[in-house]
Amino acid sequence: MKPFVKRRKNDRADAEAIAEAAMRPTMRFVAVKSAATRGHAVAFRTHQCLVR
């Protein structure tokens, strides 16, 4: 079972989902990843694809 699924990806739907998520008391927020961290993740995924 998926907890929250909406169709039609657009700005209005995104804004509605963000507002609903912000109102949920149990919502967990995560830190923004740095450019270096994202770069390492891309390199790792690329390597994994090449290994397969």
How far is 16 from 8, CA to CA, in rounded Å?
12
- Per-residue pLDDT 10s for the chain (52 aa) are 556 666 778 888 888 888 888 888 887 878 899 999 999 999 999 999 999 8
The DSSP 8-state label assigned to residue 16 in this structure reads H
pTM value surpassing 0.85: no
- Length of the chain counted residue by residue: 52
Residue type, 52: R
